[in-house]
Amino acid sequence: MTLKVIVRSIRTLSYVGGYKKIKDRPIKLYCAALVGAGYMAYNQHKKNTAEMKEIIQLSNYMAEPITPVDQLEKNRDDMKTQMELLIMRIQAEFCRALEKEEDEDAKFKVDRWMRKEGGGGITCVLQDGRVFEKAGVNISVVSGKLPPAAVQQMRSRGKKLENSELPFFAAGVSAVIHPRNPMVPTIHFNYRYFEVQDKDGVQWWFGGGTDLTPYYLDEQDAQHFHLTLKHACDEHDTAYYPKFKKWCDDYFSIPHRGERRGVGGIFFDDVDYPSQQEAFKFVTSCAEAVVPSYIPIVKKHKDAAYGYYERQWQLVRRGRYVEFNLIYDRGTKFGLHTPDARYESILMSLPLNAKWEYMHEIKPNSPEAELMKVLKQPRDWLNIEKGQSQAQRSTA
């Protein structure tokens, strides 16, 4: 099958590119990057997936691609095709990795849906599992005409566009995983590619991010998570991680509570540099870093002991998650206000259960208070500003 070959070649190219970039850097930086659990997990995962690519075929995806296969074959060099294949692969790899942590009978339910205006998506949800209370992994590949209000919204995000109906294309993968055990954090990630056509031609950009929301703080988890993301960024530009880490802290904020949603990660938008291929490779690295950033944390805590009190605290924090998603999250708001939106796919990010206690109070110096300190004041997990990795110190 020809598609198999395309998929292989795209992935081979992207890996070769990724490794090459690391090798181009000064040896000192490369060695520094080797330190820490995050890198090892990330590297092992890259090796595994590099081996995996040999057996990639259509049946490895969660469902048929949204774009007909013959069209994908015809436009194999188009970024739209590359992005669709990337998000299909990331979705499948992440779903399989999550299922491995679950009991045997807990599997993702797969809904492939088409959109009247053009395109569609694949929504995968695993609900009420032993390990995952609700896990949603969604891809969408949509096109059509952007209404002027939506164009206006994009303009305010730094893109200069005409204020009239414009043809657009958007492809993205997004996931929110709410585990059952309060000792396992929630993860969210989203990677997306946009094209808008105006009279000057096609404008394109990437956006995305990965962030972690623990209920109980484990500093080593946070360091591992951030270090894994940092390595994915550093392969492309060492300026990326500090910049996108701060962007993440600023974005996932609940202003009325004066707190962040979690311990952060990375977040970026409007990435149209240094070139389309380089930007795609950067997004690929980030998306590939999801499994190694998160699965080790799931393995570590999924069988941890907890009681009623910890569960209640988790549910209260999930209420905050709902507040952020419904009041502030641009993606959710934009999605729900789009006519003909598939709201079930947008709202799959909400937890299965959440709680709102009036004036919920936590004990001073408790594990809950420890978490709140970090949510009130984001931390520099890798001591980037002081020029020395905290992880390095702790392993020294």
Q: Which residues bind its own copies (CB under 8 A)?
A: 109, 111, 123, 125, 127, 134, 136, 256-257, 315, 319, 322-323, 326-327, 333, 336, 341, 343-344, 346-348, 350-359
Closer to its own copies by Cβ: residue 323 or 380: 323
> In this structure, what token pair is assigned to residue 161?
């566009």
**3-state class (DSSP) for residue 158:** coil
Q: Is 188 a catalytic residue?
A: yes
Shortest CA distance to 228 belongs to which of 184, 292, 177, 280?
Answer: 292
What is the closest distance, in whole angstroms, from the C-beta atom of residue 246 to its own copies in the complex?
24
Shortest CA distance to 222 belongs to which of 167, 272, 283, 297?
Answer: 297
What is the closest distance, in whole angstroms, from the C-beta atom of residue 329 to its own copies in the complex?
11
> In this structure, what token pair is assigned to residue 183?
């000792």
Residue 368 CA, distance from chain mean position: 26
What is the closest distance, in whole angstroms, from the C-beta atom of residue 120 to its own copies in the complex?
16
Q: How far apart are CA 143 and CA 78, in angstroms?
A: 15
> In this structure, what token pair is assigned to residue 292?
């190694």
Q: Which of 45, 178, 188, 301 is catalytic?
A: 188
Question: 200: burial class by Cβ within 10 Å (0-12, 13-18, 19+)?
Answer: exposed
What is the closest distance, in whole angstroms, from the C-beta atom of residue 188 to its own copies in the complex?
15
What is the closest distance, in whole angstroms, from the C-beta atom of residue 283 to its own copies in the complex?
27
Q: How far apart are CA 290 and CA 208, in angstroms?
A: 12
DSSP state at residue 178: E
Which residues, at least 6 apart from 157, have a Cβ–Cβ distance to it below 8 Å? 269, 270
**Count of residues in the chain:** 396
Is 200 within 8 Å of 215 (Cβ atoms)? no
Closer to its own copies by Cβ: residue 199 or 256: 256
Q: How far apart are CA 140 and CA 118, in angstroms?
A: 11
Residue 78 CA, distance from chain mean position: 23
Residue 360 has, within 13 A of its CA and on its CB side, a CA count of: 16
> In this structure, what token pair is assigned to residue 294?
């998160």
What is the closest distance, in whole angstroms, from the C-beta atom of residue 327 to its own copies in the complex?
5
Q: How far apart are CA 175 and CA 209, in angstroms?
A: 11
> In this structure, what token pair is assigned to residue 225?
């998570």
Q: How far apart are CA 396 and CA 391, in angstroms?
A: 9
What is the closest distance, in whole angstroms, from the C-beta atom of residue 344 to its own copies in the complex?
6
Vertex 317 angle, CA 312 and 319, to 5°: 100
Q: How far apart are CA 20 and CA 49, in angstroms?
A: 17
Closer to its own copies by Cβ: residue 357 or 370: 357
What is the closest distance, in whole angstroms, from the C-beta atom of residue 335 to its own copies in the complex?
9
Is 140 within 8 Å of 86 (Cβ atoms)? no
Q: Which residues are catalytic?
A: 188
